[in-house]
Structure 1
């Protein structure tokens, strides 16, 4: 399977997006078309986790700003280390789609043992001490390796935040594998090898080129980002877009309830079934509960979202755009909170592990 055919096959997987209809590349116009072009140029393919956002152009741009500027663009840390963070967060969030993609990328960058360990959700089996520590930190189970500079720590926190967001959205809207359903089991090993080669990052593009898709906010950005940095600007712009989207589809008291629940959450799975959400929802009017239930599940237990939950929530927000905006707001609220907690963990001494 040639790289060009892989790209075509991945484009065809857009029809496998659940609950909404992603904009096809040939039908893309305006902001969606511009973002699509940059995604294919810089990421190498129109990744379905990006394209699924296309019913809401501004949310699509926000998701791309976070992914590009944290994982793809040039920085002080190496792409392999950033991919380790992406895969470790995805494994902790039980997002098999993202684990598969980013474990393949790690393998393509010459770290097959780390790729295998992360794919198996066994980061303790990573041979390299620093890589193992980095994966543990990304899961919230340890400190950053000694020698990680503040600039690199900000990049790792940005990646972790982006993937706490993407894992939730992918769990709701995509299946368990990036490979098309039509690929037979007998061919999946070969297809994975080709896709892994295709995912191998090339020369990183310059930072900041996605900022043009969303307006500046004047905000400082998250606390973990250096004020005035590209990361601070990108995450501030993206955050403003997600907040505007949430304001359009969720009443203020629903958004406040979700934020309050996230502040009190210890980050662990809330339990079997969805009854844990019933208590908080009692304080809301019945008409607001379906959308609030979906938002709470996305934030704390996206694997519990099913067709019935989505169908009930869609009676409020109208159409695909409203659903994307609701889910994206809740996913970003969770990612923002979890990223803030990661950034507060103690760091090792300030000597360089940049460029690894």
Structure 2
């Protein structure tokens, strides 16, 4: 059974243009074949590029400690109950040389005070920053990226990270992390995804190179609408409870797969915008 519930991904060998370039960058920066999330978004190339850019320029190449940003991403994913992303970030902590932190999360053990503060901030994405204000583009951009990524995964994909739940086995997590670790040194430099964006606008002053991806997402989702009742239902669920999207909701929707993804992103962005306001307020308090 396919992990893709409602979209038909573009296969890597068939990808052209924008989709092919996102796949290429992602394979270089994460390693291996395109990740399921990005394949799921491939029917909407503009959305795919914007999500990739926001994630890449914050989590992968933005300012801040890689382990700290993985903790924030895991905290956001925990708050949103995105099992796929929780498992992925546990493996990526191994990839970044923090196997002890990864196993503490996987086994429910206590984190160090510094690591707990970062994870807790990800859980709520509110309050004073547990990181230098000068690194907010990395940490805050990561939080926003996964508030939208979690919702898109939970509404469109089976959330199994590995077949049979193999990621629950410690040695599998370690081996998976080792495989990803090979790509860390070979990543491209900051800003390389920005050329993929087709339409941007003003970005938050705190967001740095993650800002264009966020602005592109806003530009894409502002073109959605007006929403009929089935589309409004999908958008509402994507914002508040993406796990609640049903086959019946999808069957009632009249658009194609690209339209579906943009409507879900429209709903997800309503939640992202609320979180961005919290980050902007906390950033202003540091000035």
Q: If the TM-score is normalised by the length of the shorter chain, which range does it land in? A: 0.7 to 0.9
- Given candidates 206, 211, 222, the residue that maps to 1:243 is 222
Q: How many residues align?
A: 283
Pairing of 1:1-40 with structure 2 (within 5 A): 15-40=2-27
Report the CA distance between 1:136 and its aligned residue: 1.0
Does the Cα contact within 8 Å between 1:299 and 1:330 map onto a contact in 2? yes
Do 1:107 and 1:196's aligned partners in 2 also have CA atoms closer than 8 Å?
A: yes
Q: Deviations over 1:52-111 (max 9, x none)?
A: 1101111111111111111112x3312111111111100111001000000111133333
1:83–1:105 CA contact under 8 A, matched in 2 = yes
CA distance in 2, matches of 1:93, 1:207: 28
Aligned counterpart in structure 1 of residue 94 of structure 2, from 87, 107, 118: 107
Q: Over residues 9-58 of structure 1, what are the superposed CA-to-partner deviations in whole Å (9 max), with x where a residue is unaligned?
A: xxxx9x42111101111111111111111111112131111111101111
The residue matched to 1:143 in structure 2 has which SS? coil
Query: Gaps (5+ residues) in structure 2?
Result: none
Compared with structure 1, are the counterparts of its residues 189 and 308 closer, same or farther at alpha carbon in structure 2 (3 Å cutoff)? farther
Among 35, 40, 52, the residue aligned to 2:40: 52
1:142 positional shift: 5.0
Choose from 240, 256, 260 the match for 1:323.
260
SS in 2 for 1:335: helix
* Stretch deviating more after TM superposition (157-166 or 324-333): 324-333
Q: Rate the CA distance shift 1:343–1:192 in 2: closer, same or farther, 3 A.
A: same
Contact 2:53/2:210 (8 A) holds in 1: no
Separation in 2 of the partners of 1:96 and 1:223? 32
* TM-score computed with the length of structure 2 as normaliser: 0.88
Shift of 1:117: 4.0
Q: How far apart are the structure 2 equivalents of 1:142 and 1:224?
A: 16
Q: Report if aligned partners of 2:206, 2:283 keep a CA contact under 8 Å in 1.
A: no
Aligned partner of 1:299 among 235, 239, 248:
239
Residue deviations 1:267-325 (CA, integer Å, cap 9, x gap): xxxxxxxxxxxxxxxxxxxxx2221111101101112112122222x2x22x2111111
Confirm whether residue 208 of structure 1 aligns to residue 191 of structure 2: yes
Distance 1:154 1:31 in 2: 25
1:309 aligns with 2:246: no
Match of 1:139 in 2: 123
Structure 1 residues 38 and 110, CA gap change in structure 2 (3 angstroms) = closer
Question: Is the Cα–Cα contact under 8 Å of residues 224 and 340 in structure 1 kept in the other structure?
Answer: no
Task: Answer whether contact 2:239 2:270 (CA < 8 A) is retained.
Answer: yes
> C-alpha separation between the residues in 2 aligned to 1:186 and 1:151?
35
Q: 1:348 to 1:205 in 2, by over 3 A?
A: farther
Alignment match, 1:5: none
Distance 1:348 1:338 in 2: 16
Q: 1:336 aligns with which of 267, 273, 277?
A: 273
Asked if 1:195 corresponds to 2:176, the answer is: yes
Alignment gaps of 5+ in structure 1 = 1-12, 255-287, 351-356
Q: Which of 153, 157, 171 is 1:170 aligned to?
A: 153
Change (3 A) 1:243 1:43: farther
Measured in 2, the distance between the counterparts of 1:349 and 1:221 equals: 19
Are the structure 2 counterparts of residues 216 and 176 from structure 1 closer, same or farther at C-alpha, using a change threshold of 3 Å? closer
Query: Max radius of gyration: which structure?
Result: 1
TM-score normalised over the length of structure 1: 0.72
Aligned with residue 43 of structure 1, among 17, 22, 30: 30
